[in-house]
Structure 1
Amino acid sequence: MTETTLAFDAELDARGLNCPLPLLKAKMELSRLPSGAVLRIMATDAGSQRDLNAFARLAGHQMLQEQVEGGVYHYWLRKG
């Protein structure tokens, strides 16, 4: 596995969930975290790329990194 390891405060496993569930679960998880915390999200839905990037931009969060490996999308999202 060539996954880059970035520090994160919480992790969300949204693999196997279809749009819009990865986004909704990420929003719920972020609401529990303090500002500046990093949420690592794993998803298998290709639509999660579009959804999570748009959400981060509109909600004032920062997408630190995105990675795709073996059909799994990995995101590191810092809460704004």
Structure 2
Amino acid sequence: MPKKITPLSPTTVSNAKAKLDSKTGKPKDTIYRDGDNLELLVKVSGIKLWYFRYYKPFTQKRTMIAFGEYPSIGSCIK
């Protein structure tokens, strides 16, 4: 059975940080999933970007489209 993804709260989004790599101990880009293929990418630099992952209808290849940067987009796209 697939894992149920709980939606991200506005507090979680504003406090999201890049996580540390378990092998090197250095920060790495981190993806926070919001469900329904919506993702928040937190870069090491601190930039937070909203992405939507989908399959192209004709090629069936998985791709992503960026909506913009948090907080200018905010959590209103949910």
Normalised by the size of structure 1, how large is the TM-score?
0.29
Q: Which structure is richer in relative contact order (CA contacts within 8 A, separation 6 or more)?
A: 1
**As a proportion of its length, which structure holds more strand?**
2
**As a proportion of its length, which structure holds more helix?**
1
